[in-house]
Chains A and B, each alone.
Chain A
Amino acid sequence: MASSAAAGRRLLLLRHHHLLPRRYISSSSAADSLDDGGGGGRLKIFDRDLKRRHRDRAAWAMRETDGFVDAVAENLLDRLEDCRKAFPSALCLGGSAGPVRRLLRGRGGIEKLIMMDMSADMVRKWRESENATDDGPESHFVVGDEEFLPIKESSQDLIISCLGLHWTNDLPGAMIQCRLALKPDGLFLAAILGGETLKELRIACTIAQMEREGGISPRMSPLAQVRDAGNLLTRAGFTLPGVDVDQYTVKYNSALELVEHLRAMGETNALFQRNPVLKRDTALATAAIYQSMFGLEDGSIPATFQVIYMTGWREHPSQQKAKRRGSATISFSDIQKQFAPSEN
């Protein structure tokens, strides 16, 4: 457990190392900020204020239904049907909480749902749509930051986060806060975008920038890899962790349409180290390279979205556990003798 946590920390550090100038990682402070669950976040990768404004914009740019987001929300909620337990009180964190609420349809036996997002406009929009439909569980709305979860300890049965947590600077810290907010035997369900996401755009951006500007700047955020997700869950102290990956390919008419979709989802670049200027020339070159490298026969372009689904529970005595090492009373050679006598 301890060694896996240390390995996770090393991995995280390695992952951030090449992205950040030295001054951000001052000796041990980076490791410390990943460790403490509460007020960490000295390691700043994402501009949370900018992300908040992105989400304000997404609140009005959002489509009524979005095929990709709905598919992810549906997949996430499907997991509730696998549990025999009911979850009377649930917390739904930022990202695509709107579709989660819409697609819930009584699953998981949720009676009270708290919806939280960083953007006040987004929360207001959810409230309007909640008033319009007037079915589903009793809903409450809070403006809050996932990095500073304002939820009482051991108060929730279920925490869902659909496509939101990949924008947190301190993902382990945010997950630890989620675990603390859960009741014992409470369920944590999250979907985050994985490292394979938008690989086509990544390539096209890099080539266009090399070609037009003679160098590259980070246009895309670093995303978690699948192998990190398991470490994250164990690090955050969840029991019975489960990770699985799904890959979606969305087709667009052009690269500009893809960028419009990203804006509508509030998934545009929010790195601190971003280049605030995007030359028209470079943008058009990116679109052209995208089209020529990845374009399909029918003229559309595909974009890959990799979604990592994470499931974890807060520890509880009733959960199954592996036995202590060395606690077995029967030797394996005896078992072999018992069940396979014909081979000798």
Chain B
Amino acid sequence: MRRTASMLFSHAGAGHRGIPQALADVLVCPLSKKPLRYCEASGCLVSEAVGVSFPIEDGIPCLVPKDGKLLEDNSEKSEQEPIPRDSSG
């Protein structure tokens, strides 16, 4: 988490890509409540626990489960169900 935060912090000053440190500290995955990782390549917040990435639009992180995209390399997650229910709670 600390690594995530420092990564986010380095981006906070650089335009619209990152999100402020203070916000990054309190945000978690809405489904699993596990920490989020900031992916520099895609500019998304990634939840490793459920394999979903959430977009950051215009500097505002969008953490509605429906907006999340399943990560492609996560083949074991079923494709029919966009929200993996088992891992939440």
User: Which A residues lie at the B interface, using CB under 8 A?
Assistant: 36-39, 49, 52, 89, 112, 114, 118, 120, 123-124, 127, 138, 140-145, 148-153, 155-156
What 1/0 flags go to B17-42 for Cβ under 8 Å of A? 00110110111111101010000000
- The closest CB in chain A to the CB of B85 belongs to A39
Known contacts A151-B28, A153-B33; is A140 also within 8 Å of B64 by CB?
no
Q: A129 → chain B, closest Cβ, in Å?
A: 14
Given A151-B27, A156-B26: A38 and B61 interface contact (C-beta under 8 Å)? no
Q: Is B79 an interface residue (CB 8 A)?
A: no
Task: Give the 9 A-B CB pairs with smallest separation, nearest first.
Answer: A39-B88, A38-B89, A148-B30, A150-B63, A150-B30, A140-B23, A143-B62, A144-B63, A155-B26
Q: Are the CB atoms of A150 and B66 closer together than 8 Å? A: no
Contacting A at CB under 8 A, from B56-77, are 57-58, 60-67
Count the B residues whose beta carbon is within 8 Å of the partner chain — how many? Answer: 27
Please report the C-alpha to C-alpha distance between residue A155 and residue B89 in the assembled complex, in whole angstroms. Answer: 18
Q: Which of B23, B58, B63, B89 contacts A37 (CB 8 A)?
A: B89
Is there an interface contact between B89 and A143, defined as CB atoms closer than 8 Å? no
Residues of chain A with a CB closer than 8 A to B27's CB: 142, 150-152
17 A-B pairs within 8 Å (CB atoms) are namely A39-B31, A52-B64, A112-B22, A114-B26, A140-B22, A141-B60, A142-B63, A143-B62, A144-B62, A145-B66, A148-B31, A148-B63, A150-B28, A150-B63, A151-B28, A153-B33, A155-B25
Contact A124-B58, Cβ < 8 Å, known A38-B88, A114-B26: yes
Shortest Cβ distance from B12 into chain A, in angstroms?
Answer: 11
How far does the alpha carbon of A112 sit from the alpha carbon of B11 in the complex, in Å?
Answer: 20
Residue of B nearest to A177 (CB): B33
- Chief secondary structure at chain A's binding surface: mixed
| A39 and B57 alpha carbons, distance in the complex (Å) | 25
Task: Give the CA-CA distance A89 to B26 in the complex, in Å.
Answer: 10
Cα distance, A112 to B25, chains bound together (Å) = 12
**Chain A nearest CB: distance from B2 CB in Å?**
14
Nearest residue (CB) in B for A138 is B22
Within the complex, the shortest CB–CB distance from B7 to chain A, in Å, comes to 17
- Once the chains are docked, how many angstroms separate the CA of A142 from the CA of B19? 10
- List residues of chain B with CB within 8 A of the CB of A155: 25-26
**Bound CA–CA A120/B33 (angstroms):** 21
Q: How far is the CA of A79 from the CA of B57 in the complex (A)?
A: 35
Determine the residue in chain A with the shortest Cβ distance to B89.
A38
Bound Cα distance from A330 to B14, whole angstroms:
69
Q: Given the complex of chains A and B, what is the CA–CA distance between A143 and B62 in angstroms?
A: 5
Q: Which residues of A contact B19 (CB under 8 A)?
A: 140
Cβ of A49: which chain B residues have Cβ within 8 Å of it? Answer: 66
Given contacts A151-B27, A152-B28, A156-B26, 19 further A-B pairs with CB under 8 A are A36-B89, A37-B89, A38-B31, A39-B88, A112-B22, A114-B23, A140-B19, A141-B60, A142-B60, A142-B61, A143-B63, A144-B30, A144-B62, A145-B30, A145-B63, A145-B65, A150-B28, A152-B33, A153-B33
